Structure 1
């Protein structure tokens, strides 16, 4: 097979499609989404005070993410639009990294292009790309680090290994979980019986460098009093759960594993249509059908039909919906739920694709050690080590997108380079549905938030005191959060509320419709004022 060139027309095609998506959705709007208010607050203070001070929200290292946002806002001025655009740039770089990584696995450019668009069309990836959350930037640096790790192994090029380690260090200063990638390199080389080009020193170099960086960061931040109290709380939770592990936790962990494969299967469905189905024996087909019926049936009967884990991909859209009148905001959106039969169909599809992933994994693990190639071992170990703590504690759906590039590597030799017309048709259809859903849902997420903050800005312009406004988690955090008061939210005594629906004991002052592309009830943002205060409009 001919070697691929560094640049080709698909790079410009991926860039063009992503720019069209950005134009359609429209990223403009100076407002935070989800938890990115907390990161925006820090960047804003960096610009105003020339100081870096992390706040006690989250437990990540975070600093390279902050400095990247700081570089953009220093040049263009602070706004969440600018921060959002910095993420959109990293999203594009991440997509190009996925494309190049798939090409490394000797797949043709068309398959690499499809795999890249599968990630682009993922509702979790797309929604997070239009925010200043850390997930997509972290994914981008891990993806490119993975690419250089594999290429360094293939070429025995130590310079490429240094690039991989540098990118992994950058990633670990966003999230500690990048340490898992360097650990996967070490364990994969220790398993690889054919590896002669890397001595023990080179095997240990990445994990010692990346782990050492994390240690030094933690030490110096703690010495200077800059380490948030929540830092490392996830590790504490893992250790606590392990020390108190019981039958209930075991049951939960088994459930997390099945849900993990169901979600990952759903996310990979378009590219799995290119699976070499002829490799499946009659016994394998019986196993796939049995697994699909049992697991999807179990999830449906337990009320866990997809989407069933929190955060971004929610019922009939993307979220979260964080206004306080919408308590299901981490698993649904206002304006109508998806028909239950549609959720059942998605669950069956995800379970079916997840069963294929399981078969691919088990079939590969049964091979003799000498037949197991390094990129697949490396990617498999990264997935295994990365997901292990979350099987103990639970996870958000956004934690899973980081695993898509590694999954492509594992699937690489199971995909047909000459798929049938049927497979191509199913791939195109599912990919189109994913893309349309993700674009429409992300558009709606920004649309209602844009109107929400127009209402908020109107209240502020009319000099309504901030502690008299209740307008959702992002507003409350951005304007009221402080490390000095652990119960900071109690200082809010709302006279005015911004909600999705009219409230009891409040007079509706105004109703503001927002453009909604997803099916369901018309979208609106409601401004209300408590009844025992003057009804005069602000």
Structure 2
């Protein structure tokens, strides 16, 4: 079917308010798929698709080979999530660490599947996350294809997600960030396919994946909420259509409340369960000025991070939006974007706060939860702050222009973009309010925003192969991003191996772990729950007579220095892992 014929058929179906006997609107059950570049695009089975997916998979395997997944240690607070898997596999009990705040049910089941086959270990859990990461990238490729993007543009979308620094680094952990992002991407791709193409199986699979995501992290509630927004805004209101829009929301709320009740009644509820919700309520109960100030700062920093991570797609997304603007408007808009970029960049540099402004994954050293490796050059972070500002403001301006042309978009694209955009906004909303912000919380937003960029790059029509200039800019930026992501993760994993070996050597000498300050990650892994206060990592030690770190500690003598082979240009030959002993200890 030709593209024009598809769009006409879509419009006719979309504005019909009749429903079938089940009460589900025809517009959501039997609409033709959105425009595709070829008949094979809908099923992602053509030769170009197979080639692109092979490229994606081989690139992921190459990244794994460079980084190296070996190592029996956690790299973040994934030690807490591993507790449940270990109890399930070895003791056949459902147990949760008091440290976790997420639902953590399906993530534990996912890890247990691999542990049953390969045995319980951090390497096995790391493998489970790496597989989830590949599935998430493939799902985003399929989502882009069914939205009408060419194989080349769909491959760009998948690369932009999979080689994002957060995605790469967290794929080598057992944190829930990557599996949740993958489940969310699969869910949204299938729900979109079911809604726009009338595929009942895709719809069922999509909601199953969405439920899987919810039982991993509470923010999975964003999927049914965004689905409701997309249907309410784009369809004529009828009782049946509105019921179909809100039914998934009611079901997911019931599941979440039922799960929380199950945890409470069986004595399995972690002490920190739902901590972020408590912090948000406390913030909202405080002075309004503090809430507004925090939200404003979050939005500015969010613009910087998303501008940096979506930077490779900026040219393709912004060009169609600005193409139809008059020369005078383009000139004024360019001046505004440049002025805003310089203002924010100069202000942040003057205050001594260039990127990165948040913590936990991206640090001054590169990637890693502690940030204690060799610091990257200040000039690099200043340049990245400038690039993030310019890209972020450009993406925001392009999004505003696209929204002003809302009525020009085919209804299929309107629904799809609203579904993706609403999901990203709902995920961002609680982060804007809570005082506890980790940079990795932004990761689940990326597939949704990447899809907005991909669909927006088509200008509302058929999503053809990207222009040559856009391709060149994308792949140059993507190559730099991927190199940073892979090499930084590789260096961090190398550092953790040496770090863990140094701690293990002290323990083998008969020194108990509660006397070794190995950083909060390994302190939590070895000591959490034995003593101390759950919410205070500083109490997870008794007498820190020894310290293992990458920088000298005041009051301690260095008794051993273990070299770390790093590959990042600013880190080669620098910052070994130091084993130190308190001066008062004989």
TM-score, structure 2 as length reference: 0.85
Q: Distance in 1 between matches of 2:426 and 2:369?
A: 28
Q: 5 Å matches for 1:523-534? A: 523-534=575-586
Superposition CA RMSD, Å: 2.2
* Partner secondary structure for residue 316 of structure 2: coil
- Alignment of 1:314 onto 2:363: yes
Q: Aligned residue for 1:498?
A: 548
- Alignment of 1:113 onto 2:152: no
Deviation at 1:165, TM superposition (A): 1.2
Q: Distance in 2 between matches of 1:419 and 1:169?
A: 35
Q: Distance in 1 between matches of 2:280 and 2:400?
A: 27
Q: Distance in 1 between matches of 2:88 and 2:482?
A: 37
Q: Aligned residue for 1:334?
A: 373
Deviates more, 1:288-297 or 1:16-25: 288-297
Q: Aligned residue for 2:475?
A: 428
Deviation at 1:231, TM superposition (A): 1.3
Q: Aligned residue for 1:324?
A: none
Deviates more, 1:95-104 or 1:459-468: 459-468
1:473 to 520, 529, 532: 520
Q: Distance in 1 between matches of 2:238 and 2:69?
A: 49
CA deviation digits over 1:481-504, x for unaligned, max 9? 118752683552123221213444
Q: Assess, with a 3 A threshold, how the Cα gap between structure 1 residues 204 and 339 changes in structure 2: closer, same or farther.
A: same
1:358 to 385, 396, 411: 396
Q: Aligned residue for 1:155?
A: 197
1:389 to 400, 407, 430: 430
1:450 to 477, 497, 517: 497
Deviation at 1:99, TM superposition (A): 0.7
2:381 to 310, 332, 343: 343
Q: 5 Å matches for 1:170-319? A: 170-193=212-235, 199-275=241-317, 276=319, 278-280=323-325, 281-319=330-368
CA contact under 8 A between 2:153 and 2:465: conserved in structure 1? Answer: no
* Partner secondary structure for residue 526 of structure 1: strand
CA deviation digits over 1:96-150, x for unaligned, max 9? 0111111122111101111211222211110000111110000000000010111
TM-score, structure 1 as length reference: 0.92
Q: Assess, with a 3 A threshold, how the Cα gap between structure 1 residues 197 and 378 changes in structure 2: closer, same or farther.
A: farther
Q: Assess, with a 3 A threshold, how the Cα gap between structure 1 residues 301 and 448 changes in structure 2: closer, same or farther.
A: same
Q: Assess, with a 3 A threshold, how the Cα gap between structure 1 residues 239 and 140 changes in structure 2: closer, same or farther.
A: same
Q: Distance in 1 between matches of 2:332 and 2:229?
A: 33
Q: Distance in 1 between matches of 2:387 and 2:87?
A: 46
Q: Assess, with a 3 A threshold, how the Cα gap between structure 1 residues 282 and 194 changes in structure 2: closer, same or farther.
A: farther
Structure 2, gaps ≥5 residues long: 1-36, 459-463
Q: Assess, with a 3 A threshold, how the Cα gap between structure 1 residues 170 and 306 changes in structure 2: closer, same or farther.
A: same
Q: Assess, with a 3 A threshold, how the Cα gap between structure 1 residues 203 and 249 changes in structure 2: closer, same or farther.
A: closer
CA contact under 8 A between 1:102 and 1:409: conserved in structure 2? Answer: yes
Deviation at 1:11, TM superposition (A): 1.0
Deviates more, 1:417-426 or 1:205-214: 417-426
Deviation at 1:197, TM superposition (A): 13
Deviation at 1:402, TM superposition (A): 1.2
* Partner secondary structure for residue 273 of structure 1: helix
Deviation at 1:425, TM superposition (A): 2.7
Structure 1, gaps ≥5 residues long: 322-328
Q: Distance in 1 between matches of 2:514 and 2:386?
A: 47
CA contact under 8 A between 1:470 and 1:492: conserved in structure 2? Answer: no
Q: Assess, with a 3 A threshold, how the Cα gap between structure 1 residues 511 and 316 changes in structure 2: closer, same or farther.
A: closer
Q: Assess, with a 3 A threshold, how the Cα gap between structure 1 residues 63 and 299 changes in structure 2: closer, same or farther.
A: same
How many residues were matched structurally? Answer: 523
CA deviation digits over 1:58-81, x for unaligned, max 9? 311011111111221122122111
